[in-house]
Amino acid sequence: MIFEKTVVNDALVIELDKKEDKRGFFARTFCKNELREAGVSFRSVQANLSYNKTRYTLRGMHYQVSPYEEAKIVRCIRGAIYDVILDLRKDSTTLHKWFGIELNDKNRKSLYVPKGFAHGFLTLADHTEVDYKMSEYFKPGSGRGIRWDDPFFNIKWPNNPKVLSRKDREWPFVQ
């Protein structure tokens, strides 16, 4: 696994370290030891799959409050997404900064999202599937959200969503 720092503290882009031959390639997509060597303590307790029928479907920006904050490793296994994280950690020097990256089934990159971040994505292709590894179990009642288009954060999405849930449409603005 190859780790690349982002503009927000503690979040990492993870690229595959491919071992290629005439058959194709082999690569590790998750390794607790390699994550630890990169400074990440991550214990996966749950895995989720998000299937999205339509291009420009938006899911986010979601997070869980303490003590149920969750770290994630997100990977697009079919199609493409523009994946966005937003630092909500009050003691962070990158508080309220966001980072976005295209994850797709061609570049096979993953994004490590630390605890204390809001997370969301916009699909860039029909029939997109996103795989998540979670450090915490989903806890009903602890989920929160931030408006995807809140001018306070000024997230630059590659397109406006065509499909989004009522809940995601109605999260309050920060100010």
| 13 within a domain of the structure (yes/no) | yes
CA distance 50 to 77: 10
pLDDT value for 61: 97
CA distance 42 to 49: 19
Question: How do residues 27-44 score in pLDDT, each as one tens digit?
Answer: 999 999 999 999 999 999
Say which DSSP state 138 is in: -
Say which DSSP state 167 is in: H
Number of domains in the chain: 1
Q: Which residues are known to be catalytic?
A: 62, 132
| 175 within a domain of the structure (yes/no) | no
CA distance 10 to 122: 22
Which structural domain range is residue 97 located in? 2-170
Pairing of β 110-113 and β 46-52: unpaired
CA distance 129 to 153: 27
* pTM across the whole model: 0.95
Band (79; pLDDT cuts 50, 70, 90):
very high
> Phi and psi for 164 in degrees, rounded to 5?
-155, 155
Looking up residue 72, the CATH number of its domain turns out to be 2.60.120.10
| 61 within a domain of the structure (yes/no) | yes
pLDDT at residue 8 above 90?
A: yes
pLDDT value for 175: 74
| 106 within a domain of the structure (yes/no) | yes
What is the CA 22 to chain-centroid distance, rounded? 33
pLDDT value for 131: 98
pLDDT value for 56: 98
